[in-house]
Structure 1
Amino acid sequence: MIHIKFDRNKDGTIHMFTMSGHADAGPHGQDLVCAGASAVSFGTVNAIAAICNTELDVELLDDGGFLRCRVPEKLDDETYNNVQLLLEGMLVSMQTMEEQYRQFIHIESKL
């Protein structure tokens, strides 16, 4: 199962997300849940880099199955708000997948 955790600051903004595990919803290379979660997460990281000119602090295991991204500190307000908008969009996309594939993906979002 893929576990995704969004860690929030006291003001509700996202400061980090972690994805771990494997969906095992299909054979390796044909797992649509894994492919979808990977596409959404890496697409968000790449969008933040391209649109916000901001690199997240990324930890990634070579064999897959683990991704942790932290929002850098001391961003200007406009950049920070744009990063937050993209991360909230990622959360909504992941929640949509979770609704359909609850047995393969679990999301936690808390302060």
Structure 2
Amino acid sequence: MIRVTIRRSGESGRVDSFAIEGHARFAPVGEDIVCAGVSAVSVGTVNAIESLAGLELPAAMKGGWLSSDIPATGDAVVDERVQLLLESMIVMLETIAGSYAEHVVIRQHTG
């Protein structure tokens, strides 16, 4: 199962970090559309943040695991873009989880 954990700031709801770990086991390796979808969405979001917001995230990635803490830049425009891209990632992951609930679970924590 793929486990997605989103951590948010209490008052603002800002995405502070995310972690994605595990394998969907929907199909054999190389044929697993659930893993491919989650990977495309999450890695694509990290790349989009770097390309469109100019922020290189401190992301760690290795075999079935991707995580990042999201730094505040102090630039309101950059921070807003980063948050919009992260919220978009969450919507896309929720869409996948909605169709493949037995393979993807999303937990959001505020605090």
Please state which band the TM-score falls in when normalised by the shorter chain: over 0.9
Post-superposition shift, 1:74?
3.0
Corresponding position of 1:14? 15
Corresponding position of 2:96? 97
What is the TM-score when the length of structure 1 is the normalising length? 0.95
Question: What are the ranges of 5 or more consecutive residues in structure 2 without an aligned counterpart?
Answer: none
Range with bigger deviation, 73-82 or 15-24 = 73-82
Q: Which amino acid aligns with 1:7?
A: R
Q: Which amino acid aligns with 2:3?
A: H
Post-superposition shift, 1:34?
0.0
SS of equivalent residue, structure 2 residue 101: coil
Corresponding position of 2:28? 27
> How many equivalent residue pairs?
109
Alpha carbons of structure 1 residues 41 and 6: separation in structure 2 relative to 1, 3 Å: same
Post-superposition shift, 1:72?
1.9
The correspondence of residues 1-111 of structure 1 with structure 2, limited to 5 A, is: 1-10=1-10, 11-61=12-62, 64-111=63-110
SS of equivalent residue, structure 2 residue 18: strand
Paired with 1:28 and 1:20, the residues of 2 have a C-alpha distance of: 16
Question: What are the ranges of 5 or more consecutive residues in structure 1 without an aligned counterpart?
Answer: none
Post-superposition shift, 1:73?
3.1
Range with bigger deviation, 66-75 or 82-91 = 66-75
What is the TM-score when the length of structure 2 is the normalising length? 0.95
Pairwise CA RMSD of aligned residues?
A: 0.8
Percentage of identical aligned residues: 39
Q: Which structure 1 residue ranges, 4+ long, deviate > 2 Å from structure 2? A: none
Range with bigger deviation, 4-13 or 35-44 = 4-13
Paired with 2:46 and 2:74, the residues of 1 have a C-alpha distance of: 16
Contact preservation (8 Å) 2:72, 2:79: no
Post-superposition shift, 1:94?
0.3
Give CA deviations for 1:52-105 in whole Å, capped at 9, x if unaligned: 0001111112xx111111112333111001100000000000000011000000
